[in-house]
Amino acid sequence: MGNWLILAVMVLVWGADIGAYFSGRAFGKRKLAPAVSPGKSWEGVYGGLALTLVIALGVGVVRGWPVKDIFLALLATAIVVFISVVGDLTESMFKRQAGIKDSSNLLPGHGGVLDRIDSLTAAIPIFAVLLWMTAS
């Protein structure tokens, strides 16, 4: 199950990023943390959360999980997504304080390698703890 669990947390974080990007572009009006990351909006956070909840619900339904397990998965999804946003903002804050736009030139235009993993570094430990707490 290890590889599937790693893929699951990556899909959650990436889904949150994708949902946040598109909903933020379409509906973003209220800035989330303008001093840290001016492009992020509350509408983006909600869009990312909505997409990941749909993904989690779809997985639960397709796999035939009981309602209780689906509810727990949705709750865990919301927690992991909000923590991933905190990770993203934290990395942005560090870059802003250091006076750099990109953490590397390996991925030009993407803020560097850290922008690809910042949310994951915050979300993976929480995901692991939630798995551990729900293990039977």
Q: pLDDT, tens digit, for every residue of 38-77?
A: 889 999 999 999 999 999 999 999 999 999 999 999 999 9
pLDDT above 80 (res 4):
yes
pTM of the model: 0.86
Residue-wise pLDDT for 83-119, tens only, equals 999 998 998 888 778 777 655 566 555 555 666 688 8
pLDDT above 90 (res 134):
no
Q: Name residue, tokens 């800035």.
A: 31
Predicted local distance difference test score (pLDDT) of residue 117: 80
Question: How far is residue 88 CA from its own chain's centroid?
Answer: 8
Predicted local distance difference test score (pLDDT) of residue 60: 97
What is the C-alpha separation between 73 and 75, in angstroms, rounded? 5
38-70 as b/e, with b when 16 or more CB fall inside 10 Å? eebbebbbbbbbbbbbebbeeebeeeebeeeeb
Predicted local distance difference test score (pLDDT) of residue 37: 86
pLDDT, average across residues 12-36:
93
